[in-house]
Structure 1
């Protein structure tokens, strides 16, 4: 799905004339007759309503009908009053409206549905993909923001919503874009995080109903539902919810290389319980290895992707799902982050009620083997966000430490192969952001951390969908839908952690729908062995990328240092994510057209 949103301005006709025909499969018009929404999208991906001179479109997975949407549009006297549509409609979608010459355009809180905008002939043009905007004007790389993509975790807020293209801006978090007939744009906040005040039993009911509606939103748009069935608590729970829909269900799972991975046993039991579904197993003979295709040069121009190791696996899933008639594939991303009980959670409960939190603090301290000094660093008040951000700029090359993980976010860290020039670009960019005193996503650090992680998951889902669109498959993550996130954030802090229980909100919400053996397990699996084996198997491709490195040609990484880290027989575990980020940047730079890409090595 690719589209542009245009103001009721003469530039709309210019854009319509300049867009290549492949982007003009569908055109909707303002009441004035000018083009309003141009793009290509599947027929089942849109709900469209009109009332008088007002129009609204939801693009994506929205659990609503044209009748309901028309009624909501009729009662809205302004763009602001369309907040109710965004707040009450389950699913994940773009909302685009035209009303009295004004335009509202917004994506999802997670940015799984994101919007970008640029200026053209003095007016603002909005699109869901930068690749569309690149057809309308020349774009130039912002090297400082490209260097930020080398950070081991991700750029800190609010730098994570900066585009790597100087001419393109991203829609801010929790804001919609308002376009005037004069061509100007204004960002309007429409959502703020709730106060954490609901008991878990109350929130659990809302959470269950929200997840059921989120699954229904996907079922509305696909005659067959696809879903991951890894055996993990999150994806397995969604499979049991999906099985309650009046749609055929196809599940898929990857057999882990680690024979001790406990999730394979849970997945096998779940497959037997979901006897009405079709189950696909990617065994070691049929599954793509990690890093199978890092050197391909066919990524889009939006920006460096959040991952590259599992690209072939994602494409395998999309291809297989498409062969079974699936157009919406559900994943369990985001549930771990919604249940975050790390250092920011301990800090939040201690700051809220130190005496009342002592039992939980002691339990977490014992589990993580913190010293008294470490525990004190965790529970004391964090500095203001701008101060923390400025301080983190001085520690980019300090290496990982527990101290660096205590704060609003994991401290940004550059890999050892980053050059001094890259470090200086990143340092000055972070300091510049800190100087404008940015507000955190929430004044409560653990809420900020959750929302920050939701944004990271949203970018992963968006990239997976970009890969899946080649097979007409969209990847969906109900745990990061707007309504699901809001409910999770509303749970009382004291109810989020219960000694001996994992994810109390999810378990309370779905116990009875999901079998007990899914929730009562005590071990969690991972794919670390798959990562190491895939890296070793494809080391030749990775070394070739190093020798042909665009990042090295730009002076952002040291080729020799990068080569040494790649070639280590057993790379430092701390470097795995750093290698992934650097390789993702390399793969993306290789995909750029010569006229807008970096110099060739």
Structure 2
């Protein structure tokens, strides 16, 4: 792995370069975990079996704290999380490993009508709030004082393929070889891929162009992967009034990218989006009595990961090479070998079916509809047809997040007035 200012640029290697990565990333992540475990006591760690949560668990296990590792099974019989979590736990005999009963799995969309947390902005984090709280209740009963997650690892230990828009102009032969492999891996169509790589619009120009395409069909995934990001789109339940408001906001925005290049922008935007969700979860969990913290989102960890060349952080040949090398010697090699990731799709689809009544009630009393921003009839219709192909992706999440937030504003405003009296 190449450190800032050094030569090279191929696949991660060994020797001095690998030691440099361990110093840059491994030490930063170890410090982030240590600051949360050095006080001792009992500490909970998520252990999904993925590389991110496994790394956090092994780092925590090196401390003097007692560690409880928590794993949720999946409704998907092909999901490998529990098997990989058990593999990791087998290397940690001093760690208590808890696999929660499958019948206790809170589904997505559960208890949306019961959300009463004071939130300062809408968040899709409410979709999994019940799962968060269910986990906390069991861990608090075991005496845990904090729960560490691997959330953020996907955003900092990997990076956007959009970096190759710039790499192509610096190292064309290398970039072409990598891009051909990415195309095979992700099944990117050739013509949209070439068109996106040739596109030299500024971020502001791209965003302005999107203002006229808010109802356009979704384009090929490669346009978002190698461009400025996923283009903004409005679904058919968003009203014409809301469409005009969104279009005006895009046209009036004094928009600047978060970084100098598409890749830098595409790296930072999801980190910020993830951190905003986690901030709300941290507030929810602290209110529930067991704070959640995510070491991967510490500033020093982000800076350490982003100081490694992007073409060495994202490669079609290896999965999360930066984190894998940083954890070498800390996490056993057989636990570093995983390249799959669970999707929780069955929990989402089952949640739609089980909680469609709650969704109907949510839309019947919709604050968004009262403001003229969504079509109440259309959303109710979708709630009554949870198996419709139109809901195969998480397209309801942002709308639900806004609706729950608005309802919470009414609830919290009423509570504040009652307290004042």
Please report the TM-score for the alignment, with normalisation by the length of structure 2.
0.89
Structure 2 residue 252 is matched with structure 1 residue 432: yes
Contact 2:149 2:294 in 1 (8 A): yes
Shift of residue 595, structure 1, vs aligned partner: 9.2
Match of 1:421 in 2: 241
Query: CA offsets per residue over residues 77-96 of structure 1, 9 Å max, x none?
Result: xxxxxxxxxxxxxxxxxxxx
SS at match of 1:288: coil
SS at match of 2:68: strand
- Determine which of 365, 378, 384 is the counterpart of 1:548: 365
Question: 2-side partners of 1:575 and 1:586: how far apart?
Answer: 21
- Determine which of 89, 96, 108 is the counterpart of 1:271: 89
Contact 1:507 1:519 in 2 (8 A): yes
Q: Which has the higher strand share?
A: 1
Question: 2-side partners of 1:301 and 1:520: how far apart?
Answer: 39
Query: CA offsets per residue over residues 269-297 of structure 1, 9 Å max, x none?
Result: 11222221122222222222222211114
Match of 1:338 in 2: 156
SS at match of 2:114: coil
Question: 1-side partners of 2:410 and 2:249: how far apart?
Answer: 26
Shift of residue 321, structure 1, vs aligned partner: 2.4
Shift of residue 345, structure 1, vs aligned partner: 2.9
Match of 1:324 in 2: 142
Shift of residue 587, structure 1, vs aligned partner: 1.6
Contact 2:152 2:297 in 1 (8 A): yes
Match of 1:351 in 2: 169
Structure 2 residue 408 is matched with structure 1 residue 591: yes
SS at match of 2:45: strand
SS at match of 2:76: coil
Question: 1-side partners of 2:21 and 2:201: how far apart?
Answer: 31
Change (3 A) 1:573 1:473: farther
Shift of residue 424, structure 1, vs aligned partner: 1.0
SS at match of 1:255: coil
* Correspondence list, 1:79-94, <5 A: none
Match of 2:418 in 1: none
Question: 1-side partners of 2:355 and 2:46: how far apart?
Answer: 26
Structure 2 residue 79 is matched with structure 1 residue 261: yes
Match of 1:365 in 2: 183
Change (3 A) 1:252 1:532: same
Query: Could you say what the CA RMSD is over the residues aligned between the two structures, in angstroms?
Result: 2.2
Which has the higher relative contact order, 1 or 2, with Cα contacts under 8 A spaced 6 or more apart? 2
Structure 2 residue 268 is matched with structure 1 residue 448: no
* Correspondence list, 1:62-141, <5 A: none
SS at match of 2:79: coil
Match of 1:303 in 2: 121
Match of 1:469 in 2: 286
Question: 2-side partners of 1:420 and 1:196: how far apart?
Answer: 49
Question: 1-side partners of 2:338 and 2:202: how far apart?
Answer: 39
Contact 1:204 1:509 in 2 (8 A): yes
Contact 1:344 1:378 in 2 (8 A): no
Question: 2-side partners of 1:485 and 1:588: how far apart?
Answer: 29
Contact 1:196 1:493 in 2 (8 A): no
SS at match of 1:578: coil
Question: 2-side partners of 1:386 and 1:522: how far apart?
Answer: 36
SS at match of 1:542: helix
The unaligned stretches of length 5 or more in structure 1 are: 1-194
Contact 1:222 1:328 in 2 (8 A): no
- Determine which of 292, 295, 299 is the counterpart of 1:478: 295
SS at match of 1:439: coil
Query: CA offsets per residue over residues 138-176 of structure 1, 9 Å max, x none?
Result: xxxxxxxxxxxxxxxxxxxxxxxxxxxxxxxxxxxxxxx
Question: 2-side partners of 1:340 and 1:285: how far apart?
Answer: 33
The unaligned stretches of length 5 or more in structure 2 are: 415-421
Shift of residue 495, structure 1, vs aligned partner: 1.6
* Correspondence list, 1:197-276, <5 A: 197=5, 201=17, 202-220=20-38, 223-276=41-94
Shift of residue 367, structure 1, vs aligned partner: 1.6
Contact 1:222 1:327 in 2 (8 A): no
